[in-house]
Chain A
Amino acid sequence: MSDAAHADPNAYYVPHGTKWPIVGSFGLLFTLGGAAFWLNEHPAGKVAMPLGIAIILFMVFGWFGTVIRESVSGTYNKQVDTSFRMGMMWFIFSEVMFFAAFFGALFYARALSVPWIGGEGDGALTNFFLWKGYAPAWPTNGPSAIGGAFETIPAWGVPLLNTLILLSSGVTITIAHHALRAGKRTQLMIFLGLTILLGATFLWYQAHEYIEAYQQLNLTLGSGVYGSTFFMLTGFHGLHVTLGTIMLIVIWLRCARGHFDRDHHFGFEAVAWYWHFVDVVWLGLFLFVYVL
């Protein structure tokens, strides 16, 4: 690395060569190719997929390690920092659009396809010839009652609690951010730690809810279109909360090592943005999946 503690403000940092992307590509190939073999019940999948995930983890550690070393040694100037910020913002936007696809499926099913199967609008003949006797309703598992009778999870129990938990975690991470900017280290560590705990608690309740849905309510991924949309939306959200919690833990460890100062802590901010994004998606879920 360099002895230049501060980057040249006029020169954009262009790294010369990197081996991590190609490692990541092999990781993706093994993970996804392995998953495809696994789904087709080919024995190679059970070996390839875990191997692929291990390669991706190796890549993530290596790549982020390099970036952190460069960042700590002062390689990046203001302009590089702005590129990182834009990268993260647009990445989050792409995540928003990914969730939009599943929300779109939910709205389409509720507002259009279920009523049509039930004979509304242009669907009178469809209903008469194909799905006679089906009365549209929500929640539903369709005219063939795929997956069998099920019950839904009431919004005002655990989901409400989880809403409060996630909203609180949005507050605690903001307090932690202010503490970081004010240089109050102890407060930073406590409130960031609290955010992690709240995230973990959310996940614990969510797992609990899933177990109850499967074991007592007969609400499964196979419960018609309700089960499909319910579990895909909450499932992908839960996956993102898991990822966000891991990211928060990494940031907590980096804070403990003193990687951040008052003015340079984009890693912290990026994770905070991500956390708020996960939070906002949950509000949408709570409203459209549980309440309405």
Chain B
Amino acid sequence: MANHAAHADDHAHDDHDHKPEGFLDRWLFTTNHKDIGTLYLVFAFTMAIIGAGMSVVIRTELAAPGLQHVQPYFFNQMTTLHALVMIFGAIMPAFVGLANWMIPLQIGAPDMALPRMNNWSFWIMPFAFLMLLGTLFMPGGGPAGGWTMYPPLALQGGASVAFMVFAIHMMGISSIMGAINIIATILNLRAPGVDLLKMPLFTWSWLITAFLLIAVMPVLAGAVTMLLTDKFFGTSFFNAAGGGDPVMFQHIFWFFGHPEVYIMILPAFGIVSEIIPTFSRKPLFGYQAMVYAIASIAFLSFIVWAHHMFTVGMPLGGELFFMYSTMLIAIPTGVKVFNWVSTMWKGSLTFETPMLWAIGFVVLFTIGGFSGLMLAIVPADFQYHDTYFVVAHFHYVLVTGALFSIIAAIYYWWPKWTGRMVNETWGKVHFWWTIVFVNLTFFPQHFLGLAGMPRRIPDYNVAFADWNLVSSIGAFGMFVTPWMMIAIFAMSKKKGAVASQRPWEGAHGLEWEVPSPAPHHTFTTPPVIKPGMLAHGDVSH
């Protein structure tokens, strides 16, 4: 068991060797980074469908003014759980799944640094969501105070408060262990020659993201712990009568919450920075600037949190500080967007499906970035705060940003995972279908928000009826896409064209130096890096 270095170099032929035989051995007891990555991705996909189902409930109710399908309290449970499920159950685990699959392949490592803990990071998640979603079937229903859990409202929930808090503790434990594993893997398991500034950007983005996770998930744990003791043990953290302050929760929450936003977008930056050079057949423009931009964004994320609470009544000095620090983020983000565009400039471009999603990301994420800049302006935010404009903003960042990058990554690395190509025609249908309906869903929400429609309500003034109907039609169209995805990838797995080791001719990096599909164990001994093997190997220092 201990010494299995013997079968080191024959990974080219042993696709089916060494895989555990039984189902439980393979999936429940696994320590293999690829299998754990797959588990994460399947779990995230399942959660995404559940979360999307909730959004369909929301958009069905909002399709017309008046109350017609659900009770307001249930509507609030849907908005709360939709957010928690999508953030902690879909987007984050999907990125961790991609990290598990790709980081060891990109740095020439045999596996993650702490493989047993890697298993635990994943297997906590289903139990956490069992607990969170189980509240829907309890007396009093699920949490309904919004995913931000502001007291005193969140504390007025029924039995769900304690379950929600403990579910979040479990998600936090999972994320922290996952992040520790990623840092240890990247810092300790790189093959000789894969220097830090030669690492692929996806790996770089995760190194920084993992640091953010370890820094802020414990703070969220502390915040929800205080909620719990305020409700059940008589503390006064968020109770002004006892000298506390409900606004204090908002500060602690958003000290977690803003870095959390970047936890969900930095890996997306990494993915797009992999895909665009491949299909532009040019090295990434400004590789080092891209790395430093990610690091700057991560640093700034710690000093901007109060822009989520401009209307809460902060001192003017605070409002100004957080306004300007927030606007600073536009600089490194601008560096990234311009560098992606410059990478494409005079490139030998082709538009395979992963590239389409990546370009879709750049264009639509930038819209989300601009609306974010609008929201950063204090006096303007007084108008936009808690309206559908905010909803439109963060869905452009999270759906056409984070989610688009995840879908792009799946299309991009799928041939490496399975050894099969995806049908390009259907991939493009999937992309254009999504583009139409995602914009139909979220773009009108800008108009609704600017016109003053508040978020988190089941009913609204008839003046908002038309654009709400459009948005709902968009949402119903969007709900087709996960099933489309299942069909496309099932088709590929069954009878897709066989993928070569380097299915995209412009792709560089160590993951393309192993066969497709990648064998169960890769790089059991560190690979010898030859010139041209690394995506960014020729970067001059």
Closest Cβ of chain B to A5, distance in Å, is: 10
Against A, the Cβ 8 Å flags (1 = close, 0 = not) of B243-258 are 1110110011001000
Given the complex of chains A and B, what is the CA–CA distance between A242 and B323 in angstroms?
44
Q: A14-B110, A18-B31 are in contact. Are A91 and B166 (CB under 8 A)?
A: no
In the complex, whether B114 has a CB less than 8 A from a CB of chain A is yes
Chain B interface residue count, CB cutoff 8 Å, equals 86
Asked whether, in the complex, the Cβ of B131 is within 8 Å of the Cβ of A4, the reply is no
Residues B115 and A14 in contact, CB atoms below 8 Å apart: yes
Report the separation of the CA atoms of residues A233 and B425 in the bound assembly, to the nearest whole angstrom: 59
Which of A20-28, A198-206, A284-292 lies on the face that meets chain B? A20-28
A185, chain B: closest CB distance, angstroms: 28
B504 within 8 A of A: no
- B305 → A minimal CB distance (Å): 11
Q: In the complex, are the beta carbons of A94 and B111 less than 8 A apart?
A: no
Asked if A98 is at the interface of the complex by the 8 Å CB criterion, the answer is: yes
Q: A17: CB under 8 A from chain B?
A: yes
- A36 near B127: Cβ-Cβ < 8 Å: no
Contact of A14 among B31, B130, B163 (CB under 8 A): B31
Chain B 139-167 interface 0/1 with A at a Cβ cutoff of 8 Å (1 = within): 00000000000000000000100110111
A7-B2, A63-B116 in contact; A108/B111 too (CB < 8 A)? no
Which residue from chain B places its CB closest to the CB of A139 in the assembled complex? B243
Interface residues in B199-243 (C-beta closer than 8 Å to A): 214-219, 221-223, 225-226, 228-229, 232-237, 239-243
Interface string of A85-110 (1 = CB under 8 A from B): 01100110111011111101100110
Q: Does B525 have its Cβ within 8 Å of any Cβ on chain A?
A: yes
Which of the candidate stretches B61-69, B74-82, B183-191, B532-540 sits at the interface with the other chain? B183-191
**A 101-155 contacts with B by CB, 8 A:** 101-102, 104-105, 108-109, 112-114, 116-117, 121-122, 130-131, 140-144, 146-147
Instruction: Please state if A109 and B245 are interface contacts (CB–CB under 8 Å).
Output: yes
| A101–B4 touching, CB < 8 Å | no
Question: Is the pair B5, A144 in contact by a Cβ cutoff of 8 Å?
Answer: no
Known: A12-B111, A29-B130, A228-B235. A113 touches B243 (CB 8 A): yes
- Structural contact, A140 and B131, CB atoms closer than 8 A: no
Q: How far is the CB of A128 from chain B (nearest CB, A)?
A: 14
- Picked from A11, A94, A105, the residue with its CB within 8 Å of the CB of B525 is A11
Which residues from A are CB-within-8-Å of B169? 32
Contact with A along B177-200 (1 / 0, CB 8 A): 001110111011100000000000
DSSP class of B's interface residues: helix, strand, loop or mixed?
helix
**Contact of B124 with A by CB under 8 A:** yes
Stretch in B22-30, B393-401, B444-452, B505-513 touching the partner: B22-30
Of B29, B131, B242, which contacts A228 at CB under 8 A? Answer: B242
Interchain CB contact under 8 A, A28 and B184: no
Q: Given known contacts A87-B113, A142-B240, is B526 in contact with A10 (CB within 8 Å)? A: yes
CA distance A22 to B239 in the complex (A): 39
A170 within 8 A of B: no
Once A104-B252, A140-B243, A142-B236 are accepted as A-B contacts, the answer to whether A90 and B184 lie under 8 Å apart by CB is yes
Bound CA–CA A183/B25 (angstroms): 43
> A29, A131, A141, A228 — which one has the most chain B CB atoms within 10 A of its CB?
A228
Q: Are A18 and B119 in contact (CB under 8 A)?
A: yes
Interchain CB contact under 8 A, A17 and B25:
yes
CB of A166 within 8 Å of the partner chain: no
B437 to chain A, nearest CB (A): 37
Please choose the segment from A218-226, A248-256, A261-269 that sits at the chain B interface, where 4 or more of its residues have CB less than 8 A away: A218-226
CB-nearest residue of chain A relative to B181? A87
Chain A CB within 10 Å, residue with most, of B114, B188, B526? B188
- A-contact 0/1 string along B264-286, CB 8 Å cutoff: 00000000000000000000000
Interface segment among A75-83, A156-164, A188-196, A274-282: the answer is A75-83
Give the nearest-CB partner of B241 in chain A: A144
> Bound complex: CA of A8 vs CA of B163, how far in Å?
46
B531: interface (CB < 8 Å)? no
Report whether A36 and B237 are in contact in the complex, using a CB–CB cutoff of 8 Å. no
Q: How far is the CA of A87 from the CA of B177 in the complex (A)?
A: 9
Whether the Cβ atoms of A15 and B162 lie closer than 8 Å is: no
Residue B485 CB within 8 A of the other chain: no
List B contacts of A105 (CB < 8 A).
222, 226, 237, 248, 252
Task: Collect the chain A residues with CB atoms within 8 Å of residue B244's CB.
Answer: 109, 113, 142, 224-225, 228
Q: List 15 A-B contacts (CB under 8 A).
A: A10-B525, A11-B8, A11-B110, A16-B1, A17-B30, A21-B119, A21-B120, A32-B170, A83-B113, A94-B218, A108-B252, A121-B315, A143-B241, A221-B235, A228-B244
Question: Could you list which residues of chain B lie within 8 angstroms of chain A, going by C-beta atoms?
Answer: 1-5, 8, 18, 20, 25, 28-32, 109-111, 113-117, 119-120, 123-124, 126-127, 130-131, 159, 162-163, 165-167, 169-170, 173, 176, 179-181, 183-185, 187-189, 214-219, 221-223, 225-226, 228-229, 232-237, 239-245, 247-248, 251-252, 255, 313, 315, 521, 524-526
Besides A32-B167, A122-B313, 17 more A-B contacts (Cβ < 8 Å) are: A10-B525, A22-B28, A28-B170, A32-B166, A36-B162, A83-B184, A98-B218, A104-B219, A105-B226, A113-B245, A143-B243, A144-B241, A146-B242, A224-B244, A225-B239, A228-B226, A228-B236
